[in-house]
Amino acid sequence: MSSSSDTTCSECRVEMEQIEKTTFTGREIREYQCPKCKRTLILDCGEALWKILSDANKDSGAED
């Protein structure tokens, strides 16, 4: 997960706002934007929870 220092704008030094979160690729990708200068930042927060659970079900032999 990201900490607030990860989402502070490098130019303005203000906290960026999360504007997007996607997990369809199996990764949790979050996009942030600075409310002041509109700079964007994309963070890969690791494997998506649904993917971890799906893989665990496959490993245990459980059916969907």
Q: What are the residue boundaries of the structural domains of the chain, listed by start?
A: 4-60
pLDDT per residue as tens digits for the range 4-54: 568 999 999 999 999 999 999 999 999 999 999 999 999 999 999 999 999
Angle at 50 between CA 55 and CA 2, to 5 degrees: 115
The pTM assigned to this predicted structure is 0.76
Res 55: pLDDT: 94
CA dihedral 27, 23, 7, 16 (to 10 degrees): 160
